[in-house]
Amino acid sequence: MLRISFFCSEGDAKSLNFKGIFKNLSFEKTIFLDYYLSSFEVSFPIGVSLRLDGTWFNLRKVGTEYSDSVKISSSISAEASDKILQAKEIIFSFSSREKTTNQLLSHSETAKFQLLLKTLKERLNAQTKLNILNP
C-alpha cells in the first residue's frame, strides 16, 4: 500500500491522503482519496466530490473510520484520475447531513495535488507481481 499526504500530515483534520493498492493476483491497481476531519465537526459524513474544470465527480465512498478523527475513504475512477492530472481548477467538496463545504484549491495546491497523484500512479505502475518460489 502506498500513501501520499496533502495539506497536512496524515490523520490531521482537513488533510487529504492518496492511497494506492496493487492486488498481486489480479494486477488490479486502485487509487483512493482519504479525507480526515475532526470527529466534532460533522454529524454524519455522506461523502466527497471533486469539481475538475467545471465537471463534478462524485467519488464512491468505500469506508468511514471513527477514532480521534473521522476518515472517509473514496475510490477514484480512472477517468477522474486522468481528469485530476489535466485540471486547471480543482474544487474539493465534503458533504454531511447538515451541510456541504467546498474548498477551491489554489494554483500551487492544485499543482501539488496533481504531482502527488502522478507520483503515486508512477509508483503503482512500477509495481511488479510478487513471485513466491518454493525450494
Q: Per residue in 70-91, pLDDT tens?
A: 889 999 999 999 999 999 999 9
* Residues in CB range of 94: below 8 A, 6 or more apart: 35, 37, 45, 47, 48, 72, 100, 101, 103
Report pTM.
Answer: 0.82
CATH topology for the 2-124 domain: Immunoglobulin-like (2.60.40)
- If one counts every other C-beta atom within 10 angstroms of the C-beta of residue 82, the result is 14
List, for residues 81-135, the tens digit of each pLDDT value. Answer: 999 999 999 999 998 888 888 999 999 999 999 999 999 999 888 887 777 777 6
